[in-house]
Amino acid sequence: MIPYSPLFRNPHLATIAAHFWPSGLDERRFPVERWTCPTELGVKVLIETQRPPAPRPEELVLVHGLEGSSRSRYMKSMARAALEAGFMVHRFNMRSCGGSEALSSTGYHSGMTGDLLALLRRRGSGPFFLAGFSLGGNVILKLAGELGERACGWIGGVCAVSTPIDLGACVRRLEESQNRLYHRRFVRRMKERTLRLNPAAEGLENVRTLRQFDDRITSPAFGFRDSSHYYDSQSCWRFLEGLRIPAVLIHAKDDPVIPSEIFDRPEVRRNPCLELLAVERGGHVGFISRRRPWFWLGPVILDWISAHSVRQPEKT
């Protein structure tokens, strides 16, 4: 593993700085192809694809976090590292994200795997590697667990960064006073996106917390009884025992919104396909290094992919 010397010792600084740190992605060198992928009747998702001059056989799909998009800095930083290493990169926008509200009448939820699966099927036989950040990590791990043996030979592996594998525990942590900056930002952006989807949406006036939003908006929209049912049923820890392909969880122990104890679950520890890479510092999807390369996750994820890039046995 590439040594990591964190630039910031304060986890909040590491988290916030990562949102403003230049990605260095050269879109003239690697032109962006923006295209839409149909996922179900009346629904499309927006993809941003970039290709190096001589791409490797593996394709890399990046999945963003809560209220992020293909344009999030960590998505662009990871894309830069992957393109320079020779990977074709697809930056996946969850339903209604990245300015794609016109492509769907609904938003997304934390366990919505069908849209990503539709993209993989559209692209063909792979092999694919998936990298998910924060909520995107929950989505890719849940999908891999749902697929089980069917993922072998098609998906080479999944890399999940700063992942809320237990949604309920992470919402409780997010609601703590020291995280009110992140909490308020998420709630505000979720309400704004809901109104862009449906200007007549009701029930938003008194929403002040993420749990209230999920009780009043997310749960009714997707058939969950309430937020507790939603969090419990869509947390990827429930699907980890189904993993049959290599997977890695990358986590900073000082992450302000992901409690480290959720990774002590037996579902994480007992599946030999799943590896936990925990470092002392890094914040939430931060991991800015004191030395080059500044975006420490890039080479770490690519080294992990290279170690698992031998084609898996063909899927049955």
pTM: 0.95
> Which pLDDT score is estimated for 312?
43
Per-residue pLDDT of the chain (316 residues; tens, 9 = 90+): 778 899 999 999 999 998 889 899 999 999 999 999 999 999 999 999 999 999 999 999 999 999 999 999 999 999 999 999 999 999 999 999 999 999 998 999 999 999 999 999 999 888 999 999 999 999 999 999 999 999 999 999 999 999 999 999 999 999 999 999 999 999 999 999 999 999 988 889 899 999 999 999 999 999 999 999 999 999 999 999 999 999 999 999 999 999 999 999 999 999 999 999 999 999 999 999 998 888 999 999 999 999 998 644 444 3
> Which pLDDT score is estimated for 311?
47
Question: For residue 196, which amino acid is it?
Answer: R
Q: Dihedral angle at the C-alpha atoms of 261, 151, 44, 105, nearest 10 degrees?
A: -50
- Name residue 36's beta-bridge partners: 46
Residue 291, C-beta contacts closer than 8 angstroms, at least 6 positions apart: 5
**Under CATH, which number does the domain 11-307 receive?**
3.40.50.1820
Query: Could you tell me the sign of the dihedral formed by the alpha carbons of 265, 279, 248, 256, in that order?
Result: positive
Using alpha carbons, list the distances in angstroms from residue 84 to 117, 159, 186: 26, 19, 32
Domain ranges of the chain: 11-307
> Which pLDDT score is estimated for 3?
81
Cβ neighbours around 8 below 10 Å, total: 20
Alpha-carbon gap, residue 116 to 151, rounded angstroms: 13
